[in-house]
Chains A and B, each alone.
Chain A
Amino acid sequence: MALRIDSNTKVIVQGITGKEGGFHALKCEEYGTQIVAGVTPGKGGQLFNNSIPVFNSVYEAKDKTDADTSLIFVPAPFAPDAILESIDSGIETVICITEGVPVNEMIKIYKVAKDHGVTLIGPNCPGVINPLEKCKIGIMPGDIFMPGNVGVVSRSGTLTYEAVDQLSKRGIGQSLCIGIGGDPVVGTSFIDVLDYFISDDLTEYIVFIGEIGGIKEQEAAEFLKSINNTKPIAALIVGASAPKGKRMGHAGAVISGEYGKAESKINSLKDAGCHIIPHPGKIAEIVEKIINF
């Protein structure tokens, strides 16, 4: 899994001529990311913002710029094809921000990405940011992050920002923050990210933010137990107050049976040695306690 992004990562933005794609391409560049090209079929030959070359296809963009990563903003009906084109062009890491991709499409795309050994993050995710190397590939507000040694992983965008804002305000910096996305089928799992953080020397502490629905958090807990993890992890599960069977924004967050409930997830994570964050307002407080322990 090529989850690491850094100052050498070269990024193309698929959908750069759209409103959101354009806005965030510039924000990423401003933060320090190398945005080397944009792709919009039919708009090749233009210069976006008088500086970023736009190509008709990912093949062309990759050929001319040697990009290794793509960031996708194209609308949901066309996002599956955009991901497939990136995979087929030999892009190593694909980060799909687009929300609303049909689940049945993602089942197929997940398989294709795995078969090609491509790291797919998302869809419906905020992206990845490395504050140490000043590289941001996503839509998060860059100014709340600060360099440090805490890795953050979450299914949710704004909840990641909440966690980071709390951490930075207490002077606790981050090594890498990844939003894996809120959909039922996403390219990168909690386990993939935890596995990376645990082996990453720059990450000394981990903040894990899960939510109701599915059994992804329990599987992450099983994984932590199976490898006898010793890296300190602070875990928060949100959605305990959500009613059963309702879709709380994220399609994956419909509680289905006992496993989907917050309580079941919290117990599994506790059992795996995680420090449970009892209240969404106490994320940084718990991390600080762990650090000072």
Chain B
Amino acid sequence: MKIHEYQAKELFKDYEIKIPEGYICKNKDEILKIYKTLNDEVVLKVQVHAGGRGKVGGVKLVKSEQEVIEFADRFLGKGFQTAQTENEEFIVNKILVEKVSQINSESYIALLVDGSNQSVNIIVSPEGGMDIEEVASQYPESILTLPINIITGPTDFQIRKINSFLRYEQIYYVQLRKIIRNLYKLYLNKDCSLIEINPLIQNNSGEIIALDAKITFDEDALFRQNSVQGLRDLSQENLVEIQTAKLGIKYIQLQGTVGCIVNGAGLAMATMDVINGSGLKPANFLDIGGGADEHKVSEAMSAVLSDQNVEVVLINLFGGILRCDVAARGFLVALDKYNKKAPELIIRMLGTNSDEGKKILSKSRYNISFAENLNEISEILITKR
């Protein structure tokens, strides 16, 4: 689960990690008021669940009321896209207004779980302020990754190593130690899946400050994190994704024309690859999840049908606990309710009661092609190009 930068910074404040003086604003008047009290120069930052804001003008140093007004008019209440948003639009409801910081150095620091060493890892680089992916490909030697032992937490010797790797003078060690220890506490206490500060700066007064902040949370731990659930901003999420998630369906909307309904995440990804391999693009990822009943299956179909771009719906089911006849009835419920012309269906069903499922569907009034395996799905898809 993602949150906004200003929310992440509030959490940093709770954990005594220094952040720039800043105020979150919902309209132009609020921004102007803050601008006047902070004087001369401020940094304005749009608050959206998307990275790469700076490159498209969403982060700006402004020096006059006129510039403040222009920024607010350009972004507030409007859709926002960056290179990382894959054509999705995020509405800007809030703008963070911050006092300008003097920057002496910019570093990168992140905490995240790496499955290869079954630990939380701390990743640092003295090359802050640019995309970490870019740093990784251009200057791999300037990235340091240290696993944190779950029993000891980050140790002093590790922090000394980080201090020198970031080219910080000795005097910064005590400050850095506090930051790293507190970030780690925050990571565990709130069940984060990522904390990233880019850049972490040293200012003129010898302070280390988190100039930016990004936190994501482990969705599987939300059941025990009530305060984190309260940080959710539904205006930044896809409505259909939220509704289906409530039923245990994992749906992610994409940009293609072939809707798909699959059980199991791995098979769903493989099915998307099959669609791509046929020269078409998937309209979504959808994993129905375990223990699906007629209602759940019908809601999954409705979610796929709600996407205007869908021209063909591909169903790929491996019946186990999920009985194919039950699934077939669920699909028909959703199709019968759909008030536009139903798209063409390609159906592959295997496993429990699959013959019955196919029979139910073939008797319906919809345009259906049946496939026995993934290769046959490919062949049918190729004819739809």
Where the two chains meet, the residues of A that have a C-beta atom closer than 8 Å to any C-beta of B are 19-20, 23, 76-77, 99-108, 110-111, 139-141, 144, 154-162, 165-166, 182-186, 209, 211-212, 214-216, 219, 236, 238-253, 256-258, 279-282
Contacts and interface: CB of A to CB of B under 8 A. Distances in A.
B220 A238 contact: no
B254 A243 contact: yes
Given A107-B119, A154-B266, A216-B116, 8 more contacts: A162-B267, A184-B115, A241-B276, A248-B269, A249-B287, A251-B218, A258-B133, A279-B277
A158 B218 CA distance: 24
Contacts of A99: 290
Given A166-B373, A240-B276, A280-B274, A158 B220 contact: no
B224 A102 contact: yes
Interface string B268-282: 111111111100011
Nearest to B120: A107
A34 to B, nearest CB: 22
B270 A280 contact: yes
A112 B119 CA distance: 13
25 contacts: A99-B290, A104-B218, A156-B264, A156-B266, A158-B262, A161-B351, A162-B270, A183-B115, A185-B115, A185-B118, A215-B114, A216-B116, A241-B272, A242-B272, A243-B86, A247-B219, A248-B268, A249-B264, A258-B136, A279-B374, A279-B375, A279-B378, A280-B274, A281-B274, A281-B375
B266 A159 contact: yes
Given A20-B290, A238-B270, A156 B265 contact: yes
Contact of A251 (B188, B220, B318): B220
B220 A76 contact: yes
Contacts of A107: 113, 118-120, 150
A207 B318 CA distance: 19
A168 to B, nearest CB: 12
Contact of B351 (A100, A104, A141): A141
A216 B224 contact: no
Contacts of A246: 252, 285
A101 B136 CA distance: 31
Interface string B243-277: 00000001010100000001111111111111111
B116 A242 contact: no
B221 interface: yes
A105 B188 CA distance: 10
A214 B114 contact: yes
A212 B269 contact: yes
A211 B290 CA distance: 20
Contacts of B287: 249
Given A186-B115, A246-B252, A280 B273 contact: yes
A216 B113 CA distance: 13
B378 A100 contact: no
Contacts of A250: 265-266
Contacts of A102: 191, 218, 220-221, 224
Interface string B182-220: 000000100101000000000000000000000000111
Contacts of A105: 221
Contacts of A183: 115
B137 interface: yes
Contacts of A101: 220
B153 interface: no
Nearest to A282: B375
B20 interface: no
A215 B121 CA distance: 14
